Amino acid sequence: MSRIVMKFGGTSVATVERIRNVAAHVKREVDAGHEVAVVVSAMAGATNQLVAWTREASPLHDAREYDAIVASGEQITSGLLAIVLQSMGVAARSFQGWQIPLRTDEAHGSARIASIDGETLISRMTDAQVPVIAGFQGIAPNNRIATLGRGGSDTSAVAVAAAVNADRCDIYTDVDGVYTTDPRIVPQARRLDRIAFEEMLEMASLGAKVLQVRSVEMAMVHKVRVFVRSSFDAPDAPQGQAGGLPPGTLICDEDEIVEHQVVTGIAYTKDEAQITLRRVQDRPGVAAGVFGPLADAAINVDMIVQNISEDGKTTDITFTLPTSDQPRALEILNAKQNEIGFAALNTEADACKVSVIGIGMRSHAGVAAQAFEALAKRGVNIRAITTSEIKISVLIDTAYAELAVRTLHSVYGLDKA
């Protein structure tokens, strides 16, 4: 049978009763003869409470102690699930990140995985024991606990799946898969049976909150098939559907998808700010002078558009970034005005980025024109545009966000079964 890594998020393990439901899902796979490892998040709200206590103790706290505190949430969940599984007759044992070991770099609070040794886990799994692993954490080179950043349990699960050569990594969430767009905006949105790694990476980075971006990156690099499904489905519900998979969405290599839609989904993200530097000196290195200091401050810049200014001798540079980073970015740019050499700085908040995503766009012309025409007919003004092989993103006023999403979802036929 298969080797499966099962990951359960905070809402799935929010109470002991829900942990019993999770245990029933795990037991179902064990009883089916699969080798199983489980990765868990902290119980819903637990990490927020731990962070609040840490900040109450000291606003300026040691990052290593912060990690020691917030990692305890997953430790509690892993122990509770192991106990419940044992009470159900399933051999289980909890593991912390350092016990595997899952090794990280030294960036406490937002560490990246350096390596993971799967031998201990494989040995336990082949002996019919279920390792229950605390997600979100590992061990840094200084032998201290390091955490992977919010949502890091998804990344832990994919890393474990790669390390043990799992056939699949099942991510159980409070939704039953990946949809063509947000069903709260478009009730006709359809669940996708399959989506390619590249498409899911774009969806995740552009506003779809089903998976953490880093987990999708890791899955794509290591070719880990990821299956998104709901933990709120009954554990004894029928497991079969087309392709032998239960209800959900398989994130896989492009080669596994027989027929590609031209457009796979519509993603959006609100709370975007726009900054424009007017009449910037048009000389080599000016872009590095603008974006280098922002990168040093860990400010993530997205859409970048550069145009020749009205005088023909200078250039205007427009870019977007999260609204939360806008004040810091303005402070940095104003401090470097003379060094960069711009005449004026304009900024606007209240912007939204809407993106059309699909691998099928590579071989089809006119996809962008179709989007622009549809938005124009609905009176939606586009502030900026960026494109790639499989993505078209437009920046618009937030007031038109839902209208734009519904319009694009319909114009590409995504609301048709």
228 known ligand binder: no
- Reduce the DSSP state of residue 9 to 3 states and report it: coil
Distance of alpha carbon 337 from alpha carbon 340, whole angstroms = 5
Cα–Cα dist 7/155, whole Å = 10
For the sheet with 391-397, list strands across it.
Answer: 304-308, 314-322, 265-281, 344-357, 391-397, 384-388
User: 8 a known binding residue?
Assistant: yes
Q: Are 6 and 38 in contact (CB under 8 A)?
A: yes
9 is in an annotated binding site: yes
210 annotated among ligand-binding-site residues: yes
Return the C-alpha torsion angle 170, 174, 176, 179, nearest 10.
Answer: -110
> Distance between CA 188 and CA 198 in Å, rounded?
24
What are the residues whose beta carbons fall under 8 Å from the beta carbon of 373, sequence distance 6 or more?
none
117 labeled binding residue: no
- 154: annotated binding-site residue? no
Annotated ligand binding at 377? The verdict is no
Q: 7 labelled as ligand-binding?
A: yes
263 is an annotated ligand-binding site residue = no
In order of 47, 67, 96, 145, 157, the CA distances from 71 in angstroms are: 8, 6, 9, 8, 15
Q: Binding-site residues, please?
A: 7-10, 47, 74, 173-174, 179, 184, 209-210
Q: Binding-site residues for substrate, please?
A: 47, 74
Q: Binding-site residues for ATP, please?
A: 7-10, 173-174, 179, 184, 209-210
